[in-house]
Chain A
């Protein structure tokens, strides 16, 4: 069973600060996705990273896939209250079949004004 560990579990910071959240596994993934989920809503896809070492930027969010494709990080610069939410990473297995994504339990992020 492939597991994704996300850290920290909870993070509360002030508006304008920078932060990094992590998604780690002992397993290799073909690709990794990051989602943001707000209360009462389903997760919304932010980005998919496929290549080891890949870096993708989405405005103030920077996503990196580890060289060995076992881990990923999300860095937010100058966090805003609108960034508040549950950040989930999800990995695609290397089995070649459709096994469904493996999700981490998420990082609950609160940005205080």
Chain B
């Protein structure tokens, strides 16, 4: 158990819909990262928050947004969903904000867009 909690574990929805994925980092970790994993693209970095502030941005679509709340949990919002958004979405946390920090990954949310 990494200590990172992601909910829901599975999500099935239709094209055009909007969903919210939730992540609770390990106790004491200030950074939260969101990654998307698909068979063809592998693990793609989406966005990082550190202590409530956006810290780094990767290949995140404009239809996607995220935030980190004062209690350090984070939400990833995906809107106007397309079939191609079907993937595993991982949240990871670390105690610092550097790229070489040890990341602890949650078990992921499997999103299926039908």
List chain A positions with a Cβ less than 8 A from chain B.
30-31, 33, 40-45, 48, 50, 88, 90, 92-93, 97-106
A50 to B101, CA, bound (A): 12
* Any A CB within 8 A of the CB of B19: no
Please name all residues of chain B whose beta carbon is closer than 8 Å to the beta carbon of A93 when the two chains form the complex. Answer: 99
Tell me whether B42 and A106 are in contact (CB under 8 A): yes
- Identify B100's interface contact among A43, A50, A102, A103, CB under 8 A: A50
Count of chain B residues near A, Cβ 8 A: 27
CB pair B100–A100 under 8 Å, yes or no, is no
Chain A binding surface SS class: loop
Closest A residue by C-beta to B31: A98
Other-chain contact of B107, A41, A90, A92, A102 (Cβ < 8 Å):
A41
Residues of B within 8 A of A (CB): 2, 4, 33, 35, 41-45, 48, 50, 55-56, 58, 90, 92, 97-100, 102-108
**Inter-chain contact B106/A30, CB cutoff 8 Å:** no
B103 near A92 (CB under 8 angstroms)? no
B45 touches A42 (CB 8 A): no
In the bound assembly, the distance between CA atoms of A92 and B97 in angstroms comes to 12
B63 CB, min distance to chain A CBs, angstroms? 19
- B42 contacts A99, CB within 8 Å? no
B31 to chain A, nearest CB (A): 9
Q: Is the CB of B43 within 8 A of A43?
A: yes
A92 touches B99 (CB 8 A): yes
